Amino acid sequence: MTEHEFRKLLAEQGFDEPLLIERAASAQLDNHVHPFEALALILSGDITISTEQGDTTYHPGETFHLQPNELHREAFGPQGVSYLAGRKYE
């Protein structure tokens, strides 16, 4: 998915303007939740999201989607990760 397509999708689905998120190489965030729905597009690097359903690694051009209050863990690849994240509050 391109950035243009992603921004259009966010607007169509009622998400806020996306934020640019950058995370350090080989770092991680332990289990946590967000009070919002999140839809993100990977721009560079990679991220592994771990949920009750298992672990999934996302690469540039791919998107991930998290529901509000969905317990998850994030691990960032050896080059770190940069992504655009849209948020939708209930």
By three-state DSSP, how is residue 58 classified?
strand
Tokens of 76: 């960032």
Per-residue pLDDT tens for 1-60? 999 999 999 999 999 999 999 999 999 999 999 999 999 999 999 999 999 999 999 999
Q: What span, in angstroms and rounded, lies between the C-alpha atoms of 64 and 52?
A: 15
pTM, rounded to two decimals: 0.94
How many residues are present in the chain?
90
Range of the domain at 43: 3-89
* Residue 5 backbone dihedrals phi, psi, to 5 degrees: -60, -40
Does 90 score more than 90 pLDDT?
Answer: no
The CATH number for 77's domain is 2.60.120.10
Section 64-87 average pLDDT: 98
**Number of independent structural domains in the chain:** 1
Residue 76, beta-bridge partner list: 47
Q: What is the C-alpha to C-alpha distance for residues 26 and 22, in angstroms, rounded to an integer?
A: 12
